[in-house]
Each structure stands twice: as structure tokens, then as C-alpha cells.
Structure 1
């Protein structure tokens, strides 16, 4: 089964890297389209896959077609390729706000359609991706999509009505986590740590804390309480974060991101 990507930016490159690393298909079984010859050259040199500047060539050669362009270009690309889509194709959208119904309606024909929402940690093989399929996708095909998505991180199928919520908590939140790491590092620098060490220490603390949540199965509040000694420095920091409205700020940020996603 040949896999095609229309567009080959950072996210598509991360996905392709995972696919190749896991050996799901060979390099010769992936084709990507780029807008420029320079982009095609980068894809060939970095990934070793077949490249083209013709989106229609991707559709004629591949059975699974990923739309890896920015959301505002989806309609233009689908208008360009829709007459080539057949019942053998699986069309995969990875943009927020582009529903299964929107994708199928824009194609103007019955087509196997999948929505995936990967996040940027896919670039280091630690992504969290959610997906949903229309009823034309078979169980075997859905499992193939799962295999592809799990090549660059964790994956779960969820109901489409939850995709905007997922996008906020996983698609958008890396930006907020990066801000948190930067803020912690700035505070560490103010206390005398060299900046390079401050970033490394803060990032490792966040990664280790997340790993504890995933691997222990304990409630985050329980894990937090384990760190807070009576009358200690950690509980003092917690008091200040609560006073500054940390929980409310995070809640409002993710709610706002989810609502914005519904309007895209």
C-alpha cells in the first residue's frame, strides 16, 4: 500500500520519519508533493522518498493520501484532486476544523475519509494523536491508520465530536508547556543557574513528571501531594500559583483554543 503526502512540512516530515523508522513501508512506497523544487530537494535529501510538484500525481500513485497543507488551502487542493479519488483511496485530513462531512462534501463523491490530529512532539517520536473515520473505512483499514499513527507516538480513536477538545489539550498545549518550561528556566537563571542548564533541568522535570502520570496511573493531585512536604518550599510555590490563578488560566486557555478550533 503506497502512502502519499500532499505537502511535506514539519508535521508531514515527522510522520514520514516515524513510518520509515518503524518499517511500515519502504521509502520507495512513499510519495510527497511540494510547492517548490527546493522543497522537493529537501524532502529527497532528508527522507529519501519519491517527490513531485504535482498533487495529482500523489493521488494517482498512492492509496492513502494525507492532506498535509495548511487548513486554508484544503479546499483548493481538494478541488484540484477530487476527480481522481476512487473507492480505493483513503483520504486523511490532519487540520483542525475540517470535519469528515466537510472533507467528503468538498470532494463531492463518496470517499473513505479519516481525520487525524497529531501534535508537534511527533517530531521526536513522542506525539499524541487522535483519529476518527467515516463508515466507509473498514476495520482493517482503520488498524492500518492506527499502525501509521503509532509510529510517531501514542494514538487513540475518539468520537469526532471530541476532536476539538483533543486538539486543545494535545494539539495546542505543547505551546503552553514550552511557555511553562521557559518561565521556569527564567526563574532558575534569576537564581543563578546557567541558561543552558536551566532549560535542560526544567524540560527534564516536565518530562519526568508526565512520565509518572502515564506510568503510575495515579491521579495528578496525588502525585502533587507527594512532593508537598508540610510547611515546605513546594507547598509555598503551590500557594502562589493558586493565588495567581494558574488553574483558571490553563482552563480558560484550553477552552478558548477548543472554541476557536470549532470555528476554523
Structure 2
């Protein structure tokens, strides 16, 4: 199996790194030279990986072509390439529909969309795939969990949920800066919160509880401090602000 990556940024590096750790059936990987630093690092780290002379060589050499390029330049990049009929193309390009990709590719091809997250480098996290495809699901199952969306709306919702990553770290940063303002050194606050949130992530992954509400209740003593923070966060509009933001992101994805 020969894999090609048009675009060699952080997500390409994460996916290739995870695949090299988890698969033995990949004969070769070719990555585009656009980000020379990342492409060269991958080629030096993994003997199976080489850097192509350009995007067309990537397409010519691959059984499965992964498009890992920015939405702003996607159409220009894809239209310049010559794909083979029935070639398999997997797009990581946010908010670009399959119908648009098909028109840019210009020949009959099998097209999937996927949302790999940075943690796939460590074989963690879930990758959403649309439409369902067992071949692509098998690849991404090696990198953690593959979640196959049966309909476009479900895939768009997975994409919306993936936009929570910066907010997660923003919550940690706000907490760390508050602790700093109270006199705690930022480095100490940072270390403590890393351990706290990391531990909670482990609990979420291993808990038998089916809802996050149940987990919140489990970690909230009646009349206790955790209950107080959640209650005040709710009363001051925290959940409402998050709900509005998620709705706005979904609308943006659906209108793209």
C-alpha cells in the first residue's frame, strides 16, 4: 500500500507518525515538499517515507492520496493535479464538500473526508470519517478510534466538536492566570492544572458512566466546592456561551 500526502503540515506529520508506529503493511509514504522542515524530518525519521519533487509526484505514486491543505488554497492546488480514475482520495480539508472536491478532481474517484486530530501521532483520539469506508476506517483505527459518520450532518457535528480544542486550553490558561493573580507562580499553576486536567481525561476515558453529567455529579460533593464552581459557571452563562459558539461553528461548516 502506497500513501501520498499533498501538504506536509502538523496533521500530516501526526498521521504519518502514527501510521509508522502502528502499521506494517505500508510499502511507502510520499509527502509533498511544501513544508520542507516537516517533510525532511519525516523522511529522516522513517525509512519508508520520502519527499516528492512536487504534488503531482505524490498523486502519481500513491494508491491513497490524502489532501492536507488549507481550505483557502485547496481548489487551486487540487485543480492543478491529474488524478487517476478510481483513485482513492481522502480530504482533511475543513468545510469543503465532496461534491466540490469531485468537480476539482475531474475524474471518477473514491472520495472520503476525515478529521484526524493531533493526538493520532500517539495512537490516541477519534478520527471522524465520511462517508463510511472500511478501508479508510481500518487505517485510522490503527491511530486510535475511527468513527464513521453515516450522514453529512453527523460528520459536521464531529467537526464542530473538534473545534473545542482551543477552548479546552483556554479554560486551563484562564485558571492558571487567576491562580497567578492570587500569588501563585505561573509555572506552578501550569504544572498543577496539567496534572489535574490530565487526570480528569483519564477518568473520562475509563469511567463506566455514560454521561458527563453523571461524572460531574460523581466529582461534586453536595454543598461542596466543585458543585459551587459548576453552579456559578452555569448561572453566569458559561454553558450558554459555549452552546452559542458551537452553533455558530456548525452554521459556518454547513454554509461553507
| TM-score, structure 1 normalization | 0.86
Q: Report the Cα offset of residue 173 of structure 1.
A: 0.7
Number of the residue aligned with 1:84: 83
Q: For 2:174 and 2:165, locate their aligned partners in 1 and report how far apart those are by CA, in whole Å.
A: 14
Write out aligned runs for 1:87-98 (5 A). Answer: 87=86, 89-98=87-96
Give CA-to-partner distance per residue, 1:134-191, whole Å, 9 cap, x none: 7xxxxxxx33312322333322001222222111112x11011010111122223334
In terms of mean alpha carbon deviation, does 227-236 or 59-68 score higher?
A: 227-236
Task: Summarize the alignment of residues 175-194 of structure 1 with structure 2, pairs less than 5 Å apart.
Answer: 175-194=166-185
- 1:256 aligned partner: 248
Partners of 1:24 and 1:199 in 2: CA distance:
39
Classify the secondary structure of the residue corresponding to 2:65.
Answer: strand
Q: CA deviation at 1:124?
A: 4.1
Aligned residue runs from structure 1 range 19-168, under 5 A: 19-26=19-26, 29-35=28-34, 40-48=39-47, 49-81=49-81, 83-87=82-86, 89-133=87-131, 142-158=133-149, 159-168=151-160
- Quote the offset at 1:45 in angstroms: 3.0
Q: TM-score, normalised by structure 2?
A: 0.89
Deviation at 1:56, TM superposition (A): 1.0
Unaligned runs of 5+ in 2: none
SS of aligned partner of 2:245: helix
RMSD: 2.2
CA distance in 2, matches of 1:201, 1:100: 44
For this pair of structures, how many residues does the alignment match? Answer: 253
* Structure with greater proportional helix content: 1
- CA 1:215 to 1:41, structure 2 compared with 1: closer, same or farther past 3 Å? closer
Deviation at 1:196, TM superposition (A): 2.5
Aligned counterpart, 2:201:
210
Residue of structure 2 equivalent to 1:225: 217
